[in-house]
């Protein structure tokens, strides 16, 4: 492991570019760091921290059995977080509405305090910001959303989310064109009964394994690649186009009432909440992200099948590696509004299809 003090001195604070070299406590020995010791025992050693800036690792973010390497990394992040608001307030301090709003504003460019390109949230933005800063951000967000609309139709666009430690991370959605490519790969893999495995799975052994492999890859092709991939990408592309227009509309109030403190606050409230509403409506329509969660069953254990709607409701706030839940905080508030919205979207879809005539009609006098 590299020398701990050396890593700290070389670490830069991204907001200012300054180093930590002006703060040099008496660190534990290199041998102690390489030994089998707990982080708590290291903290118990005698240090000389400056009186003006005490540093304490957030207890909520450091479990007692955290390995020393991870603890040291978290310790640096707690003093100089990578981005404002990261590692400062645990997500448990937020209400369910605040978590939902934060998730939605992180997922697309647009929130006034959300710097999508810088992957950060501005903790205390100046109100009102300078005129050209306001207008420039609106135009920048509109351009980024327009660019994302095209990326969703190709190989996918990036988005931001909070991990379980309340840190901002970046991930990518699969695009429409990429999902179509995955569909044909999974389809070919299924029909080859595992002879061709572009995803790198273990070769099936025996007739039973090959049959199971076939059904598993067909499920990935139909539900993962077509419904979730192609359908979801089309919805996200449309969402990005709508948000790009929403960002352009915000230019008008930002250029007028946004010059005054109360006007700037009102503009932020209306357009941030409007973005959350747009995101919600596109999430609950068929093949949207929330719609997929609500309609997902659990068929892994055939002796304990969990039906759609019920399965999503019973899941914890954080759920594993499944991409449908991995990037959100699935709070009771989110489950409630997404379930209601998705079921209403089902009713509306059935009504629209029921009122549509698919047969040709003869000419009437």
Q: Which two tokens stand for residue 347?
A: 């009713």
Residue 70 is predicted with a pLDDT of 35
Reported as half-sphere exposure (CB side, CA atoms, 13 A), residue 35 has a value of 10
Q: Which two tokens stand for residue 164?
A: 């379980």
pLDDT in tens, 60-82: 333 444 343 333 333 333 333 33
Provide the whole-model pTM. Answer: 0.72
Residue 361 confidence class, pLDDT cut points 50, 70, 90: low
> How many angstroms separate the most distant Cα atoms in the chain?
97
Pairwise CA distance, residues 188 & 183, whole Å: 9
Instruction: Work out whether strand 168-172 and strand 120-121 pair parallel, antiparallel, or are unpaired.
Output: unpaired
Q: Could you give the 3-state DSSP secondary structure of residue 98? A: helix
The better pLDDT of the pair 158, 124 is held by: 158
- Mean pLDDT, rounded, of the chain: 79
Residue 28 confidence class, pLDDT cut points 50, 70, 90: very low
Q: CA torsion sign, 327 to 233 to 322 to 172? A: negative
pLDDT in tens, 182-233: 999 999 999 999 889 988 888 888 898 999 999 999 989 999 999 999 999 9
Instruction: Give the E-state strand segments of 19-142 in sequence order.
Output: 114-115, 120-121
H/E segment holding residue 190: helix 176-191
Query: Nearest-CA neighbor of 82 among 21, 172, 24, 165?
Result: 165
Q: CA torsion sign, 90 to 94 to 100 to 102? A: negative
Pairwise CA distance, residues 113 & 132, whole Å: 15
Q: How many CB atoms lie within 10 A of CB 218?
A: 15
Pairwise CA distance, residues 142 & 109, whole Å: 8
Whether the bond into 104 is cis, omega within 30 of 0 = no
Residue 2 is predicted with a pLDDT of 45
Residue spans of the domains in the chain: they are 4-79, 94-354
Give the position of tokens 């760091």: 33
Average pLDDT value for residue range 327-333? 97
H/E segment holding residue 76: helix 68-79
- The CA–CA distances, whole Å, from 346 to 232, 250, 282, 291, 350 equal 16, 32, 13, 9, 6
């Amino acid at each position: 492991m590299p020398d701990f003090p050396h890593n700290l001195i070389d670490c830069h604070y991204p907001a200012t570019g300054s180093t930590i070299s002006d703060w040099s406590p008496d660190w534990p020995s290199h041998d102690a760091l390489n030994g089998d010791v707990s982080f708590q025992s290291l903290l118990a050693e005698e240090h000389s921290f400056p009186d003006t800036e005490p540093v304490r690792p957030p207890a909520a973010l450091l479990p007692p059995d955290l390995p020393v390497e991870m603890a040291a990394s978290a310790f640096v992040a707690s003093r100089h977080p990578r981005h404002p608001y990261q590692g400062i307030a645990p997500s448990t301090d937020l209400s369910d509405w605040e978590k939902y709003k934060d998730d939605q504003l992180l997922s697309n460019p647009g929130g006034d305090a959300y710097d999508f390109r810088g992957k950060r949230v501005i903790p205390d933005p100046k109100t009102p910001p300078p005129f050209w800063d306001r207008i420039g951000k609106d135009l920048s967000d509109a351009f980024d959303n327009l660019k994302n609309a095209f990326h969703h139709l190709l190989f996918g666009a990036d988005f931001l989310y909070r991990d379980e430690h309340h840190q901002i991370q970046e991930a990518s959605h699969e695009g429409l064109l990429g999902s179509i490519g995955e569909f044909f790969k999974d389809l070919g893999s299924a029909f080859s009964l595992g002879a061709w495995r572009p995803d790198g799975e273990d070769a099936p052994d025996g007739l039973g394994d090959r049959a199971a492999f076939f059904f598993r890859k067909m499920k990935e092709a139909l539900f993962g690649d077509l419904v979730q991939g192609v359908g979801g990408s089309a919805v996200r592309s449309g969402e990005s186009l709508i948000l790009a227009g929403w960002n352009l509309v915000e230019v008008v109030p930002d250029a007028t009432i946004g010059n005054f403190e109360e006007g700037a606050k009102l503009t932020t409230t209306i357009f941030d909440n409007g973005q959350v509403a747009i995101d919600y409506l596109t999430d609950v329509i068929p093949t949207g992200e929330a719609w997929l969660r609500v309609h997902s069953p659990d068929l892994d254990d055939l002796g304990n099948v969990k039906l759609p709607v019920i399965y999503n409701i019973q899941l914890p706030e954080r759920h594993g590696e499944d991409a449908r839940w991995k990037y959100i905080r699935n709070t009771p508030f989110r489950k409630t509004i997404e379930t209601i919205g998705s079921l209403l979207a089902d009713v509306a879809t059935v009504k629209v299809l029921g009122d549509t005539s698919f047969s040709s009609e003869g000419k009437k006098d």
